Amino acid sequence: MAELTCISPIDGAVVATRQTLTLPEAQSAARAARKAQKDWASRPLSERIALVRRAVAIIGEQQDRMTQELARQMGRPVRYGGEFGGFNERASYMCDIAEASLAPLIVEDSATALRKIEHEPLGLVLVIAPWNYPYMTAINTVAPALVAGNSVMLKHSEQTLLVGEHLAEAFAAAGVPEDVFRNVCLNHDVTGALMSGREVDFVNFTGSVRGGQAMERNAAGTFMGVATELGGKDPAYVRADADLDLAVDSAMDGAMFNAGQCCCGIERIYVHDSLYDAFVEKAVSLVKATKLGNPLDPETTMGPMANVRFAKEVRAQIDAAVAAGATAHIPAMDADDGGAYLTPQILTGVTHDMDVMREESFGPVVGIMPVKDDAEAVALMNDCKYGLSAAIFTADADAAKTIGGQLETGTVFMNRCDYLDPALCWTGCKDTGRGTGLSPLAYGALTRPKSYHLKKKA
């Protein structure tokens, strides 16, 4: 029997070890979840909403646990207080809009006929969640899936094993039946077998491109839906009319928060020639003030990356860029140990021949390039295989809309970045994958339409 082990990036200590389910055990869990789903879907919508809200509230009562466990598992500093703000905002919004989003579409209700389209739950939804924002990314699908009448199996990352357990405890305490929401530990082979064997009805996967490709191969021929969010290389563009201080503060926070481990974090910045030198100067000053260190220390502003392996990949990108002519502006910090603790870095003199400007970094490094106009910025922003989000800093909303219309991306921001508005669809294009998260559209993805044409009179 295989094991999953969470190693703390703080000091290499083992945080948790869990046995994975065998295929027969996983099949049994999936079949029990499918059976329980029928009763769950028959409950009034208002009851399902109330139970999800209660589970969220229970997590809210345990924010200290969330904060401390996140620091130990993936290195986020305790000073930021966990993820409950975004977790609660997303779940609450999806509960707020559920009745309207799931209401039948009435085409005709007359003495002659009733014609309508209803939303039926899919059945069993498998949520495969990542470690970087482990509560928020999970709840994006868990909350609307349950509200819509599905049962859910949550497979969390090995790096954040305790998060899946925390969520399962909260939902059970709220009164959601354990077979309706279950946390499972699965290896890749068993996960694939559940999908190819049609033991689940829908999969929501957040992770790497390679992982997303594996999900699609697993589902081939089953006709189940597979939603994927596979990261990005999100750009920011600072126009000549931008508020410079706002642009620096926002873009650099988007690049460096959570040690740069954000799917929609800013990984490359294009600045108009007229602001370029000032932008770089202010950005370097801001990043130099970072306090890299133990995330359990409330003075720490940047903790270690979640895994030594991840930091190694970012260091390799930085080193290759410098070897090719880029300039690194941030001297090594005292806490940089050559392992998980990595000095945040700003690079100039970068080009699109360098991996650091084209391949996902998922770490605290950003390249900054000057551009002469909007057209050059758009061409460079689109010169990438990913398309999750893009940020435009400008005083001209019309220009932002025009530029945004030319960008190959899922979300366009103006004067902000790195935020999931639950009222807007979270989606992507190109190698970012194809998902439909949050907003009323999420309920469309987590249900299937069923049409009724009931003829009352000849």
Give the residue numbers annotated as catalytic, written as ranges: 229, 263
The number of CA neighbours under 13 Å toward the Cβ of 352 is 15
Cβ count near 41 (within 10 Å): 17
Question: How far, rounded to the nearest angstrom, does the alpha carbon of residue 2 sit from its chain's CA centroid?
Answer: 27
| 399 exposure class (CB count in 10 Å sphere: 0-12, 13-18, 19+) | middle
- Would you say 380 and 371 are in contact if contact means Cβ atoms under 8 Å apart? yes
Pairing mode, if any, of strands 386-387 and 429-430? antiparallel
Amino acid at 438: L
CA distance 414 to 326: 28
| Cα distance between residue 16 and residue 7, in whole Å | 8
Distance CA(127)–CA(327), nearest Å, equals 41
Pairing of strands 327-328, 345-348: antiparallel
Contacts of 3 (CB under 8 A, 6+ apart): 17, 18, 19, 20
Residues near 368 by beta carbon (within 8 Å), at least 6 away in sequence: 268, 269, 270, 271, 276, 279, 280, 283, 346, 347, 348, 350
